Chains A and B, each alone.
Chain A
Amino acid sequence: MSENEIVNPNETPILKNVIKGAFGSSTQSGDTSGFGGLVTTISQTPSAQRPYGNYFDQIADALARALKEENLSFEQVVERVIIHADQLTFMVKKEHLLKVAQILRDDADLRFEMCMGVTGVHWPKEKDRELHAIYPFVSITHNRRVLVEVVTPDTNPHIPSITSIYPSNNWHERETYDFFGIIFDGHPALTRIEMPDDWVGHPQRKDYPLGGIPVEYKGAVIPAPDNRRNYHG
């Protein structure tokens, strides 16, 4: 944890997950340990405070300036700025994703020439923010990296496609659609890429089971991996 990760008092924390019980006590029969009563909550990493340090301030300043030229304020577009594990993440509102991508690529102070794809994370308990899409960008000119994160609800899983700006994202967006069901509007051919075309469901979502069968070994039965004891908490 760096000192940047101070909770902003004006910011309402976003609850990402709630886990009940620990050491698998809630899944086993007869909880005599009391661990079944434990509740763990996971919240979104809080916003970072200025100065961000490293080259992060320069990126944020350049983005704010470029947005201003488009008559948009930084706060309107970027929901949160997160600095975690030595990297900068902009949580961008999805309606402004295309604009941000265009600026990241074209602005002389930013010049993120390459987008290294996109991938998703599913947080089923984060209400109306269930699906996250994360885009890593790399600038060869300035030798910098930045992550952009976009959130969309499960009930409306639409995010604009950035393939018109970064053609390399074509397959990555297809993969994220295939695995998470996020629909990238404007993608030239959003079809499944890893799973067969007639597959039902999106396997990387948390509500999609792993599958598997219990296996017997020397008289003992080992349950399928998703039914084994979970040590969270």
Chain B
Amino acid sequence: MSTDIFSGSYETTQGRVYTLSGGDWDSVLGAQTGERERIVVNMGPQHPSTHGVLRLILELDGETVTEARCGIGYLHTGIEKNMEFRNWVQGTTYVTRMDYLSPLFNETAYCLAVEKLLGITNDIPDRANTIRVLMMELNRVSSHLVALATGGMELGALTAMTNGFRDRELILDIFEMITGLRMNMAYIRPGGVALDLPNGVEKKIEETIKLLRKRLKDNYNLLVDNSVWTARTKGIGVLDLTGCMALGMTGPVLRATGLPWDLRKNQPYCGYENYEFNVITENTSDTYGRFLVRVREMNESLNIVEQALYKLKPGPVMVEDKSIAWPAQLALGSDGLGNSLDHIRKIMGQSMESLIHHFKLVTEGFKVPVGQAYVAIESPRGELGAFAVSDGGTKPYRVHFRDPSFNNLQAVGPMGEGGQVADIVAAVASIDPVMGGVDR
């Protein structure tokens, strides 16, 4: 018998239950195999192929998964509760940390909800909207690159991983140049964006797009007809349109069933109706189809970024209303983004009223009229909904995020049951859950 102190067995009404953490099957169980042998394997939350701290509870019959359940909550940080004790602008620094691979989408969804409550949706300057679209589409590419990279790694395609992370770094460099941060930038604020684009960024984006187009093509060619890749993904993790509807699936999983549902097209926001792009669909409903949707979507996103660059006209990036617009002009220093020294000089040395205004808006924040709003946008993973409730104060009364990863993880069972253990890994990777968003 095993001498492992974490192992043991006990009698239940269902028969004897053994808890094992490894070892030779025969030496542990001996000859005591009963007629109804069920094996429940706990996979994760610390496991390299569960896409983060996701815990899978698999019931196995040999290599076949007969039942798959998810255990989540390992990354719950109480972001929604914390936001109720900070002002509306501070909320952006919280929501950006939810789904950490698509921070700009979280910020945009939240800001659109706050702007709805403020009634200033139509007052957002064009330049701010264009910058939002530009940033979101770059973010979509970087997020899909991680989806392919981690998905590839989980299926053993390590080159896909190194390539994906290498290319994502190019986009993070642009984010760093614009916002001072690679992730969690709190760049999009209620009323507009935190600061205007720096000089020379347009040129850098153009160069990056050129390089990315070439590299995306290489990545695509690496996998698209790769016999190992297709064997691991074709016909795996199938969820058809009916299943997607019943489980509220959106994003690439839904579009891989052939339904062209994309909120950017169907219910446009931030001026998406002014851009030309295709909604990518496939009709295989499997992991391979979702891979193709993501790859082709990245090219469409790059097209949108190019159009956004063309549309950029000089102008303000924040609403005119001085009772909402952040008073401080931010500047990028050697140590990151901070208050502009010119602004500090003015409020401290020249204008008492500016100082009072700055102080009031930064410490108290602005008031948002009583009401509640649900705003949904198309994040890389599907419908990202921000639900905001105000009681008329300077802090949110309640904020809730309908995160697509949270909802879509419910499909792990239907996608993976009846398949093999290794296929569960492929199915989870094709959903592309981000646990920061799932647990919030």
Question: Could you list 6 further interchain pairs (A-B, Cβ under 8 angstroms) beyond the known A116-B248, A231-B364?
Answer: A16-B391, A116-B407, A192-B73, A193-B73, A194-B73, A233-B393
Contacting residues, chain A, for B406 (C-beta < 8 A): 171, 175
With A87-B373, A117-B248, A225-B86 as given contacts, are A203 and B78 in contact (CB-CB < 8 Å)?
A: yes
The verdict on B326 contacting chain A, using a C-beta distance below 8 Å, is: no
**How many residues from B make CB contacts under 8 Å with A?**
53
The verdict on B422 contacting chain A, using a C-beta distance below 8 Å, is: no
The verdict on A226 contacting chain B, using a C-beta distance below 8 Å, is: yes
Complex partner residue of A121 from B73, B397, B440, CB under 8 angstroms = B397
Contacting residues, chain A, for B247 (C-beta < 8 A): 167-168
Contacting residues, chain A, for B371 (C-beta < 8 A): 45, 84-85
Interface pair B267/A143, CB less than 8 Å apart: yes
The verdict on A39 contacting chain B, using a C-beta distance below 8 Å, is: no
**In whole angstroms, how far apart are the Cα atoms of A175 and B401 in the complex?**
12
Contacting residues, chain A, for B364 (C-beta < 8 A): 231
The verdict on B246 contacting chain A, using a C-beta distance below 8 Å, is: yes
The verdict on B374 contacting chain A, using a C-beta distance below 8 Å, is: yes
Contact with B along A216-233 (1 / 0, CB 8 A): 000000000110101111
**In whole angstroms, how far apart are the Cα atoms of A228 and B117 in the complex?**
25
Interface pair A119/B400, CB less than 8 Å apart: yes
Q: Which of B160-168, B192-200, B382-390 contacts the other chain?
A: B382-390
**In residues 81-129 of chain B, which contact A (Cβ within 8 Å)?**
81-82, 84-86, 116-117, 119, 121
**In residues 191-207 of chain A, which contact B (Cβ within 8 Å)?**
192-196, 203-204
Interface pair A113/B365, CB less than 8 Å apart: no
Contacting residues, chain B, for A231 (C-beta < 8 A): 363-365, 393-394
Interface pair A114/B73, CB less than 8 Å apart: no
**In residues 106-132 of chain A, which contact B (Cβ within 8 Å)?**
113-117, 119, 121-122
CB distance from B390 to the nearest CB of A (A): 9
Interface pair A42/B391, CB less than 8 Å apart: yes
Interface pair B248/A114, CB less than 8 Å apart: yes
**In whole angstroms, how far apart are the Cα atoms of A51 and B267 in the complex?**
23
Complex partner residue of A226 from B78, B85, B392, CB under 8 angstroms = B85
Contacting residues, chain B, for A170 (C-beta < 8 A): 410
Contacting residues, chain A, for B402 (C-beta < 8 A): 116-117, 119, 136, 172
With A134-B372, A226-B85 as given contacts, are A168 and B392 in contact (CB-CB < 8 Å)?
A: no
Contacting residues, chain B, for A193 (C-beta < 8 A): 72-73
**In whole angstroms, how far apart are the Cα atoms of A200 and B429 in the complex?**
34
With A40-B392, A168-B248, A171-B406 as given contacts, are A143 and B385 in contact (CB-CB < 8 Å)?
A: no
Contact with B along A138-169 (1 / 0, CB 8 A): 10100101010000000000000000001111
The verdict on A11 contacting chain B, using a C-beta distance below 8 Å, is: no
**In whole angstroms, how far apart are the Cα atoms of A136 and B373 in the complex?**
10
Residue of B nearest to A16 (CB): B391
The verdict on A213 contacting chain B, using a C-beta distance below 8 Å, is: no
**In whole angstroms, how far apart are the Cα atoms of A143 and B263 in the complex?**
10
A-B contact pairs, 23 of them (CB 8 A): A84-B372, A85-B119, A85-B371, A86-B121, A116-B385, A117-B402, A117-B407, A122-B398, A136-B387, A143-B267, A167-B246, A168-B246, A168-B248, A168-B249, A171-B406, A172-B402, A193-B73, A195-B73, A196-B73, A231-B364, A231-B365, A231-B394, A232-B394
CB distance from B379 to the nearest CB of A (A): 13
Binding site for B on A (CB under 8 A): 1, 16-17, 19, 40, 42, 45, 84-87, 113-117, 119, 121-122, 134, 136, 138, 140, 143, 145, 147, 166-172, 175, 192-196, 203-204, 210, 225-226, 228, 230-233
**In whole angstroms, how far apart are the Cα atoms of A122 and B82 in the complex?**
15
**In residues 332-372 of chain B, which contact A (Cβ within 8 Å)?**
363-365, 369-372
Interface pair A166/B116, CB less than 8 Å apart: no
The verdict on B261 contacting chain A, using a C-beta distance below 8 Å, is: yes
Complex partner residue of A42 from B81, B116, B392, CB under 8 angstroms = B392
Complex partner residue of B374 from A17, A45, A147, A192, CB under 8 angstroms = A147
Interface pair A225/B76, CB less than 8 Å apart: no
**In residues 236-252 of chain B, which contact A (Cβ within 8 Å)?**
245-250
CB distance from A92 to the nearest CB of B (A): 16
**In whole angstroms, how far apart are the Cα atoms of A121 and B396 in the complex?**
12
CB distance from A111 to the nearest CB of B (A): 11
Complex partner residue of B407 from A16, A171, A210, CB under 8 angstroms = A171
Interface pair B389/A136, CB less than 8 Å apart: no
**In whole angstroms, how far apart are the Cα atoms of A184 and B406 in the complex?**
19
**In whole angstroms, how far apart are the Cα atoms of A166 and B244 in the complex?**
11
With A134-B372, A225-B82 as given contacts, are A17 and B391 in contact (CB-CB < 8 Å)?
A: yes
**In whole angstroms, how far apart are the Cα atoms of A134 and B402 in the complex?**
12
CB distance from B385 to the nearest CB of A (A): 6
The verdict on B439 contacting chain A, using a C-beta distance below 8 Å, is: yes
The verdict on B227 contacting chain A, using a C-beta distance below 8 Å, is: no
Interface pair A85/B407, CB less than 8 Å apart: no
Contacting residues, chain A, for B410 (C-beta < 8 A): 167-168, 170-171
The verdict on B80 contacting chain A, using a C-beta distance below 8 Å, is: yes
**In whole angstroms, how far apart are the Cα atoms of A51 and B398 in the complex?**
30
Contacting residues, chain B, for A232 (C-beta < 8 A): 391-395
**In whole angstroms, how far apart are the Cα atoms of A194 and B119 in the complex?**
34
**In whole angstroms, how far apart are the Cα atoms of A121 and B374 in the complex?**
13
Contacting residues, chain B, for A85 (C-beta < 8 A): 116-117, 119, 371-373
